[in-house]
Structure 1
Amino acid sequence: MRLRCAVLDDFQRVATELADWSPLADDVEVVTFDTHFTDESALAEALAGFDIVVTLRERVAFPGSLLARLPRLRLIVASGMRNSVIDYEAATAHGITVCGTASSPHPPVELTWALLLGLARGLVEEHNALRGDGPWQSTVGADLHGRRLGLLGLGKIGSRVARIGLAFGMEVVAWSRHLTKERADEVGVQLAASKEELLAGSDFVSVHLALGDRTRGLLGAAELALLKPTAYLINTSRAAIVDQDALLAALHEGRIAGAGVDVFDIEPLPADHPMRTAPRLLATPHLGYVSRANYATYYGQAVEDIAAFLAGSPVRRLP
């Protein structure tokens, strides 16, 4: 009897197209779900008949309460090698193995710049006007060359964003709690003396930090108030790093020029969520890691993880 594998949140219905699942055909039945389960009870009911679950990034939480309701579950494969919404202790207690996959930093870097450039040059407004009956030119673009790009975080993603900023001729500064001058020099950027200095002096601020106790709510009302009224904020990292109510207030009151956001406090975003109608906001539905190459890696390595688990030698175990 074959095991059953659930692939969650396959919104684009490409999970079985972008990887070769045939090596598992004799042993595993693969079922994909193209809708998101927001209720734990509904998710528990849907997954009750599955031995394996493949989940993308941190879209779906697996707390101990859920795992206790899935006695058949034996393997979770999560894309990426970091996942903060899986209760690993509970997984171990229930005999569930958790594995990860590789993840490329390039797609979120590219989306960061898509959002930044789209905001700076008013692309959405001008496109909509051109396709409709709007005016011929209604915005004046914000320059990048010679302007300051402030980066919160200079890791795999932040450092790549920095190098593109330098290529545009921007002055790039960075800050994080443990960032050193040696690391900043290695990337070719300036080390900001403080978070406050970076926020107050930057024309564009982009967030590239991991979410944790020290970064949750890192940018609240007081920090956003430091931004210039002509500044733009980009967040393709995690929503909880920026106080969402404070950001909405800054946008509605015109205290910053705009924001580009790919991450939200609730995902998928409810139809009545205030982020859907906020002014001065360019938003995308968490597309940072959604690319053909990244998905091919995620699902291709998910197949490898499952095969290795079936062979009794799990690979890329988490945490």
Structure 2
Amino acid sequence: MTFPLLRCAVLDDFQGVAASSADWTPVADRVEVTAFREHHASEAELAAALAGFDIVVTLRERVPFPATLFARLPRLKLLIASGMRNSVIDLPAAAAHGVTVCGTASSGTPPVELTWALLLGLARGIVQENTALREGGPWQSTVGADLHGRTLGVLGLGRVGGAVARVGLAFGMEVLAWSRSLTDERAAAAGVRRAASKEQLLGESDFVSIHLASDAGTRGLIGAAELALMKPEAYLVNTSRAAIVDQDALLAALTGGRIAGAAVDVFDVEPLPADHPMRRAPRLLATPHLGYVSQENYRRYFTEAVEDIAAFLAGEPIRRLG
């Protein structure tokens, strides 16, 4: 039996690797795939781009799918998001519009490596010194911050935070951890000390790394008052969720020199507009949300997206969200 081809859109394929990261042949006779390398900034722009598609594959939580967008996409039948949790997809609205929403496995390689790349980059002025070397600038212009013997504060001692803490211990750092649910026993089992409060952690740490989920209890957890508690020579690293740190407060702290620096991989608006102040902030090492961008994660995401499509076509959807 011959079926009409369904159209599948892959959003935000910035590197142009969606097609090569997985074997799409299991659905090639039923599905025509189009990858969008550019980001659609507005709902109207996105609705216009997706009007002719039956299936959409979206990465992470970058693209919101509210009820208003589902209403503008009557042809859409299947939405696939990487990971098994997504706070920006209105699942009841999807169900009301007859859209099946499926996920994939979460990141197999959490952003531990990127966290340490950013932290070390800050501590040793890697970007500044590399730029000067390449451009014929001064030979040595920074004095690196030591890690051995310094205090690493980890906000959130879960899977990622615990792995970050273990690396800190390997560097000879004292590790201090805090979250609302952290107990002395869990901290001790990880070989770290539990801070009595986030305020204690911020005040005592030379480096602070954030590894918390974004929810009502953590949004805006680090604001102007919290940043003011940090040592002037301390650094903040956020590879977790942008909403945990008040972006305006962080910009003010960096501009005013109230902390030594920050490294950020997540932002309130992604991709960052060309004129966004975070692109020009002093003392900031910034990357464009690279924490999950790895060969293994992309292979996992897109392979399971193909599996989701095949199962949907067979009338037996898998990894359903909601």
Q: TM-score range by the shorter chain?
A: over 0.9
Query: Secondary structure at the residue paired with 2:62?
Result: coil
Offset, 1:162: 0.9
Query: Secondary structure at the residue paired with 2:111?
Result: helix
- Which residue, out of 59, 62, 70, partners 1:59? 62
Q: Distance in 2 between matches of 1:129 and 1:41?
A: 43
Q: Distance in 2 between matches of 1:107 and 1:154?
A: 14
Match of 1:190 in 2: 193
Cα RMSD (Å) of the superposition? 0.9
Q: Distance in 1 between matches of 2:302 and 2:283?
A: 36
Q: Work out the number of aligned pairs and report it.
A: 319
Q: Note the alpha carbon deviations across 1:96-123, whole angstroms, 9 max, x for none.
A: 1111111235341111001000000000
Determine if contact 2:80/2:102 at 8 Å carries over to the other structure. yes
Match of 2:145 in 1: 142
Determine if contact 2:151/2:207 at 8 Å carries over to the other structure. yes
Determine if contact 2:265/2:286 at 8 Å carries over to the other structure. yes
Q: Distance in 1 between matches of 2:55 and 2:198?
A: 43
Offset, 1:183: 2.1
Q: Distance in 1 between matches of 2:317 and 2:197?
A: 43
Query: Secondary structure at the residue paired with 2:208?
Result: strand
Match of 2:315 in 1: 312
Structure 1 segments unaligned to the other structure (5+ residues)? none
Residues 119-138 of structure 1: matches in 2 within 5 Å? 119-138=122-141
148-157 or 15-24, which deviates more: 148-157
Offset, 1:203: 0.4
TM-score, normalised to structure 1, is: 0.98
Determine if contact 2:39/2:271 at 8 Å carries over to the other structure. yes
Structure 2 segments unaligned to the other structure (5+ residues)? none
The answer to whether residue 299 in structure 2 is matched with residue 274 in structure 1 is no
Q: Percent identity?
A: 75
Query: Secondary structure at the residue paired with 1:14?
Result: coil
Match of 2:8 in 1: 5
Q: Distance in 2 between matches of 1:312 and 1:162?
A: 45
Residues 1-319 of structure 1: matches in 2 within 5 Å? 1-104=4-107, 106-319=109-322
Query: Secondary structure at the residue paired with 1:53?
Result: strand
Determine if contact 1:4/1:28 at 8 Å carries over to the other structure. yes
Q: Distance in 2 between matches of 1:132 and 1:186?
A: 48
Instruction: Return the letter of the residue paired with 2:257.
Output: G
Q: Distance in 2 between matches of 1:179 and 1:90?
A: 36
Q: Distance in 1 between matches of 2:286 and 2:155?
A: 19
